């Protein structure tokens, strides 16, 4: 049976780009840059005062031991000084204004007194370059300042704005089809009988894709009936880039998903992985590169599969690096229950004065509320029979 | 001068709810629940088989040492068995189906052989309750399963769906007005002269609020001109719940923001905090409870202020607990530059085999690209002169 690492490698090798599109910056938050961003000019673009104060020649203090200078001009941010600074003179300058010619330091206003055009300085020392952000010190014109394939966070959006990118080219997002299978499953809004359950898997998968700004998401239910399933999957194969099924992949008499997928020309890459929960997962692709994930029907299995399998696929398609887990100390003890890699829901806690993780109460892979109260999942690898208190573990945030 | 902790306390004490609204679940991702969620029935709602297999009486194996049982029925998920199980009989049962009356264990299909209505079991042991998720074991009808004021994550949306909440009551979001002040600031899309810079602060603040799903956000520029500033702020005060200004709060000749705000009836709660970067921050409220944050104009100051001051305010308004930092080991050494609390951009790294943080290259509070390459900020508290390698520090993720 396939290991988790092998399964991830197979999945990633099938990833493909969905193309690119150009958007106005205000629509691009959370999207993935598909162009490198170069500095359009030096940053700072000029020698900028970082303080409200006086622009001076440092040598007037260091060499000539002056303590009073003649004021020649006031320079506000957004304007340019017209007077060159010579020995014995200074200009008042505001934060963000260009340092005038001849000046090589700014003394902050708190250390001065200005009276009738004369400025008295109460300073012990001064440094050439003091309180000046030098032209080009952050980035030089033409230098790459954001790499292709950055997520457009609030911080990145600020950099895009300052460098004049009103339009940005981003990775196009896939169209998603989600099919929840099972005769026992009814949709939200439908009356539910005792032996039935309302679908939650489609909501969780939808939420996962939504966190990558994917919003072209169709969801539907399918009964455990070969003809119904075949028609539903065929409809989505015609139209979607990624199809996620839940249920119907295990060993039950009505588990038709693998059979129907192969009938429809989806080539199986693997079926069953050495993982708990979620072992019966099926993965395959169509000749034109669409990906189909057949997940087990249990809610926690679906959530683990999103993090462990679907997220690496999606990130690779978008050109993003895989997410690294946080390596944190574990609080508690845990004995493995199977010979497989086991993932279990955990919460972040303070453990011996630093951030650690501990397991949340969790009955079974059907436990509806356990993961909602957890911060993510921790891996107990196949070869680690016992997780001891304080062992460093891989934590994957939801 | 106010400490960071005092400033945060003052800000939080001014927080107020923006009300509540009811939304369809598909519009509620990322919003904050304003109602507790109770289990509408037991979960699981019936004794559910967690495996494909055979429902049996455990005593047939434990006491009577049988190894072959007569098959009386097949029960698919979504249907209900009609035959009670007695000694010597079993029903085939699929994952998710209700366990029939009389049965107290399920043997997985892998450990059986079925021939002509007789099932042979190859098992060494069996346990009462094996492979059965017992009715109510996850949650009992009426029990609170999600607290008021949970963020609706994908996991939470799954719980809301399964419990039948097609409509949910959530915290209403504030209307935001963002004013970037300064004669040197031009907006994206406008030609920029050498001594000017394009606005980035409004984009960063907008992105921060967007991460809480706030989308009623107006942004504008204002020159360093008292009349212009007064008119702009007055317009936003009439219409917005929270107003964020950047620039104009320090000691420059054109720093009119505090004066104009007080003129317009915004009562100052504090001006200047013992923090770097971002010390000159101003905070006040109107008689009807609107909050006004006057931030310094430097990009990094604005970003730090979003995390340290605006986020605690917003979360308290929405009813969310404050975010806890991650307490992680620091890699490197850092000497304090001021007597204040200092925040500096850091990235997550692997340090001595576990997750730690290290400072990113960072020239000044105007460095446009430094924070875009960082994962968050670390606090070096006022009283910690030296951060030593491996010291545990508070890390706030962007």
Give how far Cα B375 sits from Cα of A36, A210, A320, B32, Å: 19, 21, 16, 24
Which of A133, A353, A398 lies at the smallest CB-CB distance from B364? A133
Choose the mutation target among A203, A212, A351 for the interface with B, i.e. most B CBs under 10 Å.
A203
- Backbone CA torsion sign across A374, A377, A378, A380: positive
Which of A159, A255, A355 lies at the smallest CB-CB distance from B372? A159
What pLDDT shows up at residue A365? 66
Q: How far is residue A391's CA from residue A368's CA, in Å, rounded to a whole number?
A: 28
Q: How far is residue B205's CA from residue B3's CA, in Å, rounded to a whole number?
A: 23
What pLDDT shows up at residue B363? 79
User: CA torsion angle for A57, A59, A65, A68 (degrees, to 10)?
Assistant: -10
Residue B209 backbone phi and psi in degrees, to 5: -65, -35
Residue A262 belongs to what H/E stretch? Answer: helix A257-263
Q: Is the peptide bond before B277 cis (omega within 30 degrees of 0)?
A: yes
Neighbours of B86 (CB within 10 A): 14
Nearest chain A residue to B155 by CA distance is: A372
Burial of residue A342 (number of CB atoms within 10 Å: 0-12, 13-18, 19+)? buried
- What integer is the mean pLDDT of A384-392? 97
* A369 pLDDT more than 90: no
Residues 6+ apart with CB under 8 A from A310: A205, A208, A242, A244, A293
Instruction: Provide ipTM, 2 decimals.
Output: 0.95
Taking an 8 Å cut-off on Cβ atoms, the answer to whether A254 and B76 are in contact is yes
What pLDDT shows up at residue B333? 97
| First vs last C-alpha separation in chain B | 27
Chain A residues lying within 8 Å of B36, measured CB to CB: none
Q: How confident is the model at residue A168 (pLDDT cuts 50, 70, 90)?
A: very high
Which of A164, A200, A204 lies at the smallest CB-CB distance from B188? A164
- What integer is the mean pLDDT of A137-147? 93
Share of chain B residues as helix, strand and coil, in percent rounded to the nearest 5: 20, 35, 45
Q: How far is residue B100's CA from residue B82's CA, in Å, rounded to a whole number?
A: 8
Taking an 8 Å cut-off on Cβ atoms, the answer to whether A161 and B29 are in contact is no
CA-closest candidate to residue B121, choices B75, B65, B76, B77: B65
pLDDT tens by residue, A11-33: 999 999 999 999 999 999 999 99
Q: How far is residue A76's CA from residue B254's CA, in Å, rounded to a whole number?
A: 8
What pLDDT shows up at residue A299? 93
DSSP conformational letter for A310: I
- At residue B372, the 3 state secondary structure works out as helix
Residues 6+ apart with CB under 8 A from A391: A329, A330, A384
Q: How far is residue B180's CA from residue B187's CA, in Å, rounded to a whole number?
A: 9
Partners of A152 in beta bridges: none
Residues 6+ apart with CB under 8 A from A314: A174, A209, A212, A242
DSSP conformational letter for B215: -
Which of A133, A150, A372 lies at the smallest CB-CB distance from B159? A372
Choose the mutation target among B42, B96, B353, B361 for the interface with A, i.e. most A CBs under 10 Å.
B96
- What integer is the mean pLDDT of A239-256? 94
Q: How far is residue B46's CA from residue B84's CA, in Å, rounded to a whole number?
A: 16
Taking an 8 Å cut-off on Cβ atoms, the answer to whether B155 and A197 are in contact is no
Q: Which domains does chain B have, with CATH numbers?
A: 4-18+173-318 (3.40.980.10), 21-43+144-171 (3.90.105.10), 48-133 (2.170.190.11), 326-397 (2.40.340.10)
CA-closest candidate to residue B121, choices B67, B61, B44, B190: B67
Q: How far is residue A19's CA from residue A17's CA, in Å, rounded to a whole number?
A: 5
Which of A44, A145, A162 lies at the smallest CB-CB distance from B200? A162
Per-residue pLDDT of chain B (398 residues; tens, 9 = 90+): 899 999 999 999 999 999 999 999 999 999 999 999 999 999 999 999 999 999 999 999 999 999 999 999 999 999 999 999 999 999 999 999 999 999 999 999 999 999 999 999 999 999 999 999 999 999 999 999 998 899 999 999 999 999 999 999 999 999 999 999 999 999 999 999 999 999 999 999 999 999 999 999 999 999 999 999 999 999 999 999 999 999 999 988 889 999 999 999 999 999 999 999 999 999 999 999 999 999 999 999 999 999 999 999 999 999 999 999 999 999 999 999 999 999 999 999 999 999 999 999 887 767 878 899 999 999 999 999 999 999 999 999 99
Neighbours of A286 (CB within 10 A): 15
Average pLDDT across chain A, whole number: 96
What pLDDT shows up at residue A362? 84
Partners of A98 in beta bridges: A48
Q: How far is residue A11's CA from residue A313's CA, in Å, rounded to a whole number?
A: 6
DSSP assignments along B89-124, one per residue: EEEEE-TTSBPPTT--EEEEGGGEEEETTEEEE--S
CA-closest candidate to residue A51, choices A26, A77, A27: A77
What pLDDT shows up at residue B369? 84
DSSP assignments along A2-34, one per residue: B-HHHHHHHHHHT-----EEEEEGGG-TT-BB-
Structure tokens given for B141: 């009808």
Q: Which residue has the tokens 């960082």?
A: B374
Is residue A279 within 8 A of residue A296, CB to CB? The reply is yes
Partners of B345 in beta bridges: B377
Q: How far is residue A232's CA from residue A224's CA, in Å, rounded to a whole number?
A: 11
**Residue A291, min C-alpha distance to chain B (Å):** 22
Share of chain A residues as helix, strand and coil, in percent rounded to the nearest 5: 20, 35, 45
What pLDDT shows up at residue B73? 97
Question: How far is it between the farthest Cα atoms of chain B?
Answer: 96
Taking an 8 Å cut-off on Cβ atoms, the answer to whether A392 and B353 are in contact is yes
Provide the total of helices (H) and of strands (E) in chain A, helices listed first: 8, 28
What pLDDT shows up at residue A251? 87
Residue A138 backbone phi and psi in degrees, to 5: -85, -40
Q: How far is residue A159's CA from residue A140's CA, in Å, rounded to a whole number?
A: 14
Is residue B396 within 8 A of residue B329, CB to CB? The reply is no
Give how far Cα B82 sits from Cα of A222, B76, B93, B289, Å: 25, 12, 12, 64
What pLDDT shows up at residue A363? 79
The proportion of chain A whose per-residue pLDDT surpasses 90, expressed as a percent, equals 96
Choose the mutation target among B36, B137, B369 for the interface with A, i.e. most A CBs under 10 Å.
B369
Q: How far is residue B311's CA from residue B291's CA, in Å, rounded to a whole number?
A: 13
Residues 6+ apart with CB under 8 A from B307: B343, B376, B377, B396, B398
What pLDDT shows up at residue B365? 66
- At residue A14, the 3 state secondary structure works out as coil
Q: At what angle do helices B201-210 and A154-162 cross, to 10 degrees?
A: 160
Q: How far is residue B118's CA from residue B107's CA, in Å, rounded to a whole number?
A: 14
CA-closest candidate to residue B322, choices B103, B9, B94, B37: B9
CA-closest candidate to residue A194, choices B83, B6, B78, B332: B78
CA-closest candidate to residue A296, choices A263, A260, A257, A243: A257
Q: How far is residue B75's CA from residue B87's CA, in Å, rounded to a whole number?
A: 18
- Backbone CA torsion sign across B211, A328, A375, A275: positive
Provide the total of helices (H) and of strands (E) in chain B, helices listed first: 8, 28
- At residue A341, the 3 state secondary structure works out as strand
Neighbours of A235 (CB within 10 A): 14
Chain A residues lying within 8 Å of B161, measured CB to CB: 188, 198-200, 202-203
Choose the mutation target among B134, B155, B354 for the interface with A, i.e. most A CBs under 10 Å.
B155
Partners of B378 in beta bridges: B344, B395
Is residue A91 within 8 A of residue A104, CB to CB? The reply is no
Chain B residues lying within 8 Å of A101, measured CB to CB: none
CA-closest candidate to residue B178, choices B217, B234, B229: B217
Chain A residues lying within 8 Å of B133, measured CB to CB: 363-364, 366
Is residue A325 within 8 A of residue A24, CB to CB? The reply is no
Which of B76, B138, B348 lies at the smallest CB-CB distance from A369? B138
Structure tokens given for B312: 């605690």
Chain B residues lying within 8 Å of A361, measured CB to CB: none
């Amino acid at each position: 049976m396939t290991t988790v690492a092998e399964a991830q490698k197979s999945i990633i090798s099938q990833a493909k780009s969905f193309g690119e599109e150009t958007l106005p910056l205000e629509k691009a938050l959370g999207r993935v840059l598909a162009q490198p961003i170069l500095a359009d000019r030096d940053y700072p673009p000029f020698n900028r005062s970082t303080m409200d104060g006086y622009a001076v020649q440092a040598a007037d203090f260091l060499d000539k031991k002056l303590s009073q200078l003649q004021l020649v001009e006031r320079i506000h941010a957004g304007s340019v000084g017209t007077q060159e600074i010579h020995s014995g003179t200074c200009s008042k300058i505001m934060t963000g204004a260009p340092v005038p010619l001849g000046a090589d330091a700014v003394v902050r206003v708190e250390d001065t007194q200005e009276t009738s055009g004369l400025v008295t300085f109460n300073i012990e020392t001064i440094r050439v370059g003091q309180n000046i952000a030098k032209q080009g010190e952050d980035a030089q014109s033409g230098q790459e300042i954001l790499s292709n394939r950055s997520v457009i966070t609030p911080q990145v959006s600020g950099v895009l704005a300052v460098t004049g990118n009103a339009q940005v080219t981003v990775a196009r997002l896939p169209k998603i089809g989600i099919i929840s299978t099972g005769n026992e499953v009814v949709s939200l809004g439908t009356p539910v009988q005792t032996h039935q359950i309302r679908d939650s898997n489609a909501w969780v998968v939808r939420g996962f894709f939504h966190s990558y700004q994917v919003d072209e998401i169709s969801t539907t239910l399918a009964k455990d009936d070969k003809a119904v399933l075949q028609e539903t999957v065929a409809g989505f194969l015609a139209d979607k880039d990624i199809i996620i099924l839940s249920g119907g992949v295990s060993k039950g008499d009505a588990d038709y998903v693998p059979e129907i997928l192969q009938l429809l020309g989806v080539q199986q890459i693997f079926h069953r992985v050495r993982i708990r929960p979620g072992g019966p997962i099926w993965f395959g692709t169509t000749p034109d590169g669409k990906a189909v994930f057949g997940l087990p029907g249990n809610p926690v299995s679906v959530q683990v599969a999103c993090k462990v399998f679907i997220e690496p696929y999606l990130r690779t398609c978008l050109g993003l690096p895989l997410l690294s887990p946080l390596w944190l100390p574990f609080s508690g003890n845990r004995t493995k229950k199977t010979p497989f890699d086991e993932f279990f829901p955990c919460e972040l806690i303070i453990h011996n004065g630093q951030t650690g993780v501990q397991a949340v109460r969790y009955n079974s892979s059907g436990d509806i509320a356990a993961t909602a109260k957890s911060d993510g999942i921790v891996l107990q690898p196949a070869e680690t029979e016992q997780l001891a208190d304080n062992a460093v573990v891989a934590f994957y945030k939801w």
